[in-house]
Amino acid sequence: TTEETLYRPNFHFTPKANWMNDPNGMFYLNGKYHLYFQYYPDGNVWGPMHWGHAISKDMITWEEQQIALYPDDLGLIFSGSAVVDHNNTSGFGKDGITPIIAMFTHHNMQGEKDGTLDFQTQSIAYSLDEGLTWTKYDKNPVISNPGIKDFRDPKVIWDNKTNKWIMVLAAADKIMFYSSANLKDWTLESDFGKDLGQHDGMWECPDLFPIKVEGSDITKWVLIVSINPAAPNGGSGTQYFIGDFDGKKFSVDADFNKQLQQEKAVWIDYGRDNYAGVTWSNIPKNDGRKLFMGWMSNWEYARDVPTETWRSTMTIARELKLKKSDNGYLLVSNPVTELYKHVSKTIKKDSLIVKKQEDIISKNKIDLARLIVELQINNLKEEQYTFLFHNKFGDTLSFGLDNKNKLYFLNRQKSGKVDFSEKFANTISKAKKGNTSNNLKVQVLLDKTSIEVFYNNGETVFTELFFPNQPFETLSIMSSDEKLILENIKIEELKLN
C-alpha cells in the first residue's frame, strides 16, 4: 500500500499492525536485545494494554514475536521493566534455568470506572525461555495501592552496593523508591521530586541508573522522569535529574540543583516525539553502555497520525553518556554504533562553499528515506543557519540554528500532512544553544516519517515525526552567512535486510 511504502520506517521499530506506545521490559541476554512494548492488538488506537515483544541482535533490525503478556482479572498490563535474575533471588528459576522477571503495573479498568483510587498495582511475571513466554506470579499484586490514583511504571535495577533490587515508580507528582531481596517483597524506602523539576503534568515511566562522568572516575546517578503534558515544546517529554543514590534515597547533585534553579527542568530531547524512554537492563559489564529507547510520539496527537495499519514507532536506540562542563551536567544521546553497520553507500566531501542556498544532497545520489547526514560548520557568525528537506510536492521540513538568538529550531509546519491534529504543527520546536562553542556539528537521521537531529555529539537532540505527501528529494542549506563553508560532509544510505 502507499502507506507501507511512504510511511513504514526502514530502520526504526514499528509493530506489523495496530497500536503501540511505551517501550517496556528491555533486557539483553545471549546476544539478543529484547524490546517489549505497550500494545493493543485489536485496534490502531490505545486500548486494553498487552505487552508486545520484539527481538533484535543489534537494536536496529527487529523481529516481532508473539504477545508476551495479556490482560487478566487484575487488569490491563501497563508499562514496566524486566531483569535477569542471575542468582535466582526470586526462586522462579528451575533446573538451573535463569529466570527473567518482568515487573509491570496492573491497571484495573473497573476500579477506574468506579471512581476508586487504588486501581493501579504492581505485579510480576517470570520467563524460563529467555523472554518468549511468561507466567504471572500467583500472588500478584506484589505491591498493592496505598491510595494513590496514579501509581505506575516500575523500573527495576540491581544495586551492587546494597545487594538488593531497587525499583522506581511514578506516583503522579513524585518518584517512589522501593527495595527488595527477592523481587516479591518490596519495602518503600523514600520518595523524591515533589518540589523539583517540571510539574505541570503527570510524572510517568521513571528510570534510575549509575553512570560515570565522562573523563573522570566519578559516578553519578541519573533519574529519568517522563512527564505529560508540559514538555518544553508541548505535550509529552522526558526530563532527568543528576544526583546520588545511597540505596534508599536519591538526592540531587548541588551543581545540578543550580541548573534546575535556572531552567526549572532539564530535558533529554527537545523534539516533540521522544517519550517514556528507559534503558536496557543486563548489558554485559565488558560492554557497559547505557542504552536507551523512547516511544517516538506524543500523547497530544499519537492516535491521530496518518497511518492506519500500525500506529507509532520507536526512536533509534541511543547510547547515553554523562558530561560535565562549566555549564553543568549534560546527558548526551547518540545513535548506537550498530546503526553504522547497515551503511551501504557513503558520499564524503571535505567542504562545500555555500552561496545563500545550496543543495547538499539530492535524491538521485542517495535515498533520503534511509539517510544519515553529518557535517560541521566552523566559525559561526551571528546569523541563521537553516537546513531544508524538500520534495516536488512543495513539502518542507526545516531545522537548524538561529545563532543570533542562540536557538536551535525544528519546523514541521509545512512538512506535508499536518492537519490531522491541531496540536501536531502548532509550534516550531526550539532549544537553547547551551555551549559557547563557535562550531556546530550536525548529525541527522531521516527515516521516511522521522527526523532525529543530534547537535554537537548529542548535546542537544530533536526527535520529531512528519508525514510528507511524497518522499523528500533534496537537502539544502540556507544562510545569511556569506562566508559559509560546510565541512566534513558525510552522507550515508542505509540498507536493511
Question: Which stretch of DSSP H or E encloses residue 263?
Answer: helix 254-263
Q: Which is nearer to ligand FRU, 177 or 389 (CB)?
A: 177
Q: What angle do CA 409, 396, 359 make, to 5 degrees?
A: 90
> Least CB distance from residue 121 to ligand FRU, whole Å?
12
Q: Which amino acid is at 11?
A: F
The DSSP output letter for 368 is G
x-marked contacts with ligand FRU along 11-30 as a string, rule CB under 6 A: ----------xx--------
Length of the chain: 497
Q: Is-contact 390 474, C-beta < 8 A? A: yes
> Least CB distance from residue 223 to ligand FRU, whole Å?
16
> Least CB distance from residue 104 to ligand FRU, whole Å?
8
What number of other Cβ atoms are within 10 A of residue 6's Cβ?
18
Q: Which is nearer to ligand FRU, 78 or 329 (CB)?
A: 78
* b/e burial code for range 198-227 (CB count within 10 A of at least 16 → b): bbebbbbbbbbbbbeeeeeeeebbbbbbbb
> Least CB distance from residue 279 to ligand FRU, whole Å?
16
Question: Can residue 122 be called a binding residue for ligand FRU (CB under 6 A)?
Answer: no
> Least CB distance from residue 276 to ligand FRU, whole Å?
4
Q: Which of 22, 207, 269, 395 is catalytic?
A: 22
Phi, psi of 254 (to 5 degrees): -60, -45
Q: Which is nearer to ligand FRU, 275 or 329 (CB)?
A: 275
Q: Give the up-direction half-sphere exposure of residue 293: CA atoms within 13 A in the CB hemisphere.
A: 27
Question: Can residue 318 be called a binding residue for ligand FRU (CB under 6 A)?
Answer: no
Q: Identify the residue among 10, 38, 81, 479 touching ligand FRU (CB under 6 A).
A: 38
Q: Identify the residue among 20, 49, 224, 372 touching ligand FRU (CB under 6 A).
A: 49
Q: Give the up-direction half-sphere exposure of residue 279: CA atoms within 13 A in the CB hemisphere.
A: 23
> Least CB distance from residue 79 to ligand FRU, whole Å?
3
Question: Can residue 81 be called a binding residue for ligand FRU (CB under 6 A)?
Answer: no
Determine the size of the site formed for ligand FRU (CB under 6 A).
12
Q: Which is nearer to ligand FRU, 152 or 433 (CB)?
A: 152
What number of other Cβ atoms are within 10 A of residue 405's Cβ?
12
Q: Which amino acid is at 23?
A: P
Using alpha carbons, list the distances in angstroms from residue 218 to 161, 252, 255, 324: 15, 15, 14, 11
Q: Which is nearer to ligand FRU, 153 or 269 (CB)?
A: 153
Measured in whole angstroms, the distance separating CA 297 from the mean position of its chain's CA atoms is 10
Q: Identify the residue among 81, 105, 140, 463 touching ligand FRU (CB under 6 A).
A: 105
- Residue 226's nearest CA partner among 168, 281, 141 is 168
Q: Identify the residue among 126, 127, 153, 294 touching ligand FRU (CB under 6 A).
A: 153
Q: Which amino acid is at 253?
A: D
Q: Identify the residue among 12, 152, 220, 412 touching ligand FRU (CB under 6 A).
A: 152
Q: Is-contact 493 440, C-beta < 8 A? A: no
Q: Is-contact 126 155, C-beta < 8 A? A: no
Q: How far apart are CA 303 and CA 308, in angstroms?
A: 10
x-marked contacts with ligand FRU along 189-208 as a string, rule CB under 6 A: ---------------xx---
x-marked contacts with ligand FRU along 243-282 as a string, rule CB under 6 A: ---------------------------------x------
Question: Can residue 145 be called a binding residue for ligand FRU (CB under 6 A)?
Answer: no
Q: Which is nearer to ligand FRU, 76 or 477 (CB)?
A: 76
Residue 348 grid coordinates? 564524503
Q: Which is nearer to ligand FRU, 193 or 400 (CB)?
A: 193
Q: Which is nearer to ligand FRU, 50 or 342 (CB)?
A: 50
> Least CB distance from residue 312 to ligand FRU, whole Å?
11
Using alpha carbons, list the distances in angstroms from residue 243 to 205, 209, 212, 334: 18, 10, 12, 22
Indicate if 153 belongs to the active site: no
Question: Which stretch of DSSP H or E encloses residue 112?
Answer: helix 109-113
Residue 358 grid coordinates? 545550496
> Least CB distance from residue 22 to ligand FRU, whole Å?
5
Question: Can residue 106 be called a binding residue for ligand FRU (CB under 6 A)?
Answer: no
Question: Can residue 297 be called a binding residue for ligand FRU (CB under 6 A)?
Answer: no
**Residues interacting with ligand FRU, by CB under 6 A?**
21-22, 38, 49, 78-79, 105, 152-153, 204-205, 276
Active site residues: 22
